[in-house]
C-alpha cells in the first residue's frame, strides 16, 4: 500500500487517510445537531433584561421572545412605571388588584429591569421588555400594543396607567361588547373617565365590592378630557399610529379624536367601568409635571398642526355603555357636549351600532 508523507512530520498509509475521512464525515451530523440544540437552548432560555432602564432598550429587543400565541383570556391589560418610582403603596395596590381580575384578565408589565421584573412575576403578572422609547426613555404606546398582541392571545388588549384600579365592571362590560354586534370592519376603542379616590388601602384595593363602595363614598369623577385606559381589539391599526408616548398630555385625546374620525367603534364606558385613580399628594395632574411634558404636543403639531383636543374627550364618543335592571347595554349617544361640535361639523357622526336601537333611558 502506498505511503503518503505530510510535511516530513509523520507518515500515513493511503488506506488510513480514507478511513479517517469517512469517520469525520459520519460524525458531522451529530456535531451539527449538538450545536443546533445548544444555540436554541440559549435563544429560549427566557426574557433578557438589561441593567438600565427603558431608555437603554432597542427596538429589536423583543425578537427572541416572540412565540406562537397561546389560548388567552378576555383581556390582556398592561402598564409600566419608572424603576425609581417611590409610590410603593400605589404600585403594590395595582399589582394585587389586577391579579384579582384573573383568569379573565391577563396582567402584563413592561420593564427592562431584571430585579423589578422578578418582583412583578411574583405577583402573578407576565413581563415583557420595553421595545421602543422616546422622550428621554418613555415607552411608545403603539409598540406596547403591538408587542402584547404578538405575544399573547385574547379578545381585547388594553393599556392603563399604573395607578388605576378596576372592579368586575371591566369584565362585565367587555362581555357585553363581545356579545353585541359591531361592524367587523370597524376597529374597537373603549375608554372612559376615571374616579379620583384618596388614600386607597391594600384591603380596599383587593376587594372588588369594597373598592366600588369607597369610590361612591369618597371618590370624585374626573374631567372628560382625562382618559387613563384604552381597550382595543386586535384589528385596531396600531401600526399606523404616531409615536406618542404614555404618561404625557395630548396622546389620550388625540387617540379618541383620531378613532372617531376614522369611523372606529368608540365606546365611552364611564358608567360601567370603574377606573379608580389612587390619588396621592402628587395630585391629579401628574403627567404635566414630568420631563418632556410637551413631547406629544410637539409630535402631533408637526404631523397635523392644529388639533382640537377637546373633541377627543370621553363625552365625544359616539357610543356609551350603561346599566339597567337586566344588566349592561350599549347604545348610541343621543347628546353631545359643546366641545364635540367642531369635530362633528367636520366629520359627522358616522359610527353606528348596527342592530341595536338607540337607548330610550335617560
pLDDT of res. 285: 53
Quote the number of domains for the chain. 2
pLDDT of res. 286: 60
Q: Are residues 208 and 316 in the same domain?
A: yes
> In Å, how far are 138, 245, 258 from 134, measured between CA atoms?
5, 7, 21
Which residues form the domain of 236? 54-347
| C-beta separation of 110 from 130 below 8 A | yes
pLDDT of res. 21: 46
| 3 is a domain residue | no
Q: Are residues 266 and 237 in the same domain?
A: yes
Mean pLDDT split into 10-residue runs, the chain, 362 residues: 41 45 50 43 34 35 38 91 84 97 98 91 97 96 98 97 97 96 92 96 95 96 96 97 96 95 94 95 60 94 93 94 96 85 58 42 38
pLDDT of res. 115: 87
Q: Are residues 289 and 317 in the same domain?
A: yes
Q: How far apart are the C-alpha atoms of 227 and 287, rounded to whole Å?
A: 12
The C-alpha cell that represents 10 in the structure block: 509523520
Q: How far apart are the C-alpha atoms of 274 and 284, rounded to whole Å?
A: 17
DSSP 3-state assignment of 28? helix
pLDDT of res. 337: 78
Q: What is the pTM of this model?
A: 0.77
Q: Are residues 25 and 135 in the same domain?
A: no
Q: Are residues 19 and 102 in the same domain?
A: no
Q: Are residues 39 and 181 in the same domain?
A: no
CATH code, domain carrying 192: 3.90.550
| 83 is a domain residue | yes
pLDDT of res. 283: 53
Q: Are residues 131 and 273 in the same domain?
A: yes
DSSP 3-state assignment of 247? coil
CB neighbour class for 262 (10 Å; exposed up to 12, middle 13-18, buried from 19): middle
Q: Are residues 23 and 150 in the same domain?
A: no
pLDDT of res. 183: 86
Q: Are residues 304 and 172 in the same domain?
A: yes
Beta strands in the chain (DSSP E): 3-6, 10-13, 75-79, 105-110, 126-128, 133-134, 138-139, 156-160, 164-166, 188-191, 195-198, 219-221, 229-232, 265-268, 275-279, 319-324, 327-332
The residues facing 133 across adjacent strands are 139
- CB within 8 A of 311, min separation 6: which ones? 253, 257, 260, 339, 340, 342, 343
Q: How far apart are the C-alpha atoms of 66 and 81, rounded to whole Å?
A: 23
Q: Are residues 216 and 235 in the same domain?
A: yes
Q: Are residues 192 and 333 in the same domain?
A: yes
| 7 is a domain residue | no
| C-beta separation of 227 from 310 below 8 A | no
pLDDT of res. 53: 33
Amino acid at each position: 500500500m502506498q505511503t503518503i508523507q505530510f510535511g516530513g512530520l509523520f507518515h500515513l498509509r493511503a488506506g488510513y487517510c480514507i478511513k479517517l475521512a469517512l469517520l469525520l464525515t459520519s460524525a458531522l451530523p451529530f456535531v451539527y445537531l449538538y450545536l443546533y440544540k445548544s444555540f436554541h437552548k440559549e435563544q429560549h432560555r427566557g426574557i433578557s433584561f438589561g441593567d438600565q432602564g427603558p431608555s437603554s432598550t432597542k427596538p429589536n429587543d423583543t425578537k427572541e421572545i416572540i412565540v406562537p400565541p397561546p389560548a388567552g383570556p378576555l383581556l390582556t391589560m398592561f402598564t409600566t412605571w419608572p424603576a425609581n418610582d417611590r409610590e410603593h403603596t400605589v404600585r403594590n395596590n395595582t399589582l394585587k388588584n389586577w391579579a384579582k381580575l384573573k383568569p379573565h384578565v391577563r396582567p402584563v408589565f413592561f420593564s427592562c429591569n431584571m430585579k423589578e421584573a422578578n418582583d412583578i412575576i411574583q405577583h402573578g403578572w407576565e413581563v415583557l421588555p420595553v421595545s421602543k422609547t422616546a422622550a428621554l426613555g418613555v415607552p411608545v404606546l403603539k409598540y406596547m400594543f403591538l408587542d402584547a398582541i404578538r405575544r399573547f392571545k385574547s379578545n381585547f388588549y388594553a393599556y392603563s396607567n399604573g395607578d388605576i384600579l378596576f372592579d368586575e365592571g371591566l369584565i362585565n362590560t367587555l362581555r357585553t361588547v363581545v356579545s353585541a354586534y359591531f361592524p367587523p370592519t370597524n376597529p374597537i376603542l373603549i375608554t372612559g373617565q376615571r374616579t379620583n379616590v384618596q388614600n386607597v388601602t391594600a384591603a380596599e384595593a383587593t376587594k372588588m365590592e369594597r373598592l366600588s363602595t369607597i369610590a361612591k363614598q369618597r371618590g370624585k369623577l374626573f374631567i372628560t378630557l382625562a382618559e387613563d385606559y384604552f381597550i382595543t381589539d386586535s384589528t385596531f391599526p396600531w401600526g399606523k399610529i404616531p409615536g406618542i408616548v404614555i404618561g404625557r398630555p395630548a396622546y389620550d385625546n388625540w387617540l379618541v379624536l383620531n378613532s372617531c374620525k376614522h369611523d372606529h367603534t368608540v365606546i365611552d364606558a364611564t358608567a360601567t367601568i370603574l377606573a379608580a385613580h389612587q390619588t396621592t399628594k402628587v395630585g391629579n395632574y401628574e403627567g404635566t409635571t414630568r420631563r418632556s411634558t410637551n413631547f406629544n404636543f410637539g409630535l402631533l403639531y408637526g404631523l397635523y398642526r392644529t388639533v382640537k383636543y377637546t373633541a377627543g374627550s370621553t363625552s365625544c364618543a359616539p357610543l356609551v355603555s350603561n346599566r339597567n335592571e337586566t344588566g349592561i347595554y350599549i347604545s348610541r349617544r343621543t347628546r353631545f357636549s359643546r366641545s364635540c361640535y367642531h369635530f362633528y361639523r367636520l366629520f359627522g357622526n358616522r359610527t353606528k351600532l348596527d342592530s341595536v336601537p338607540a337607548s330610550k333611558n335617560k
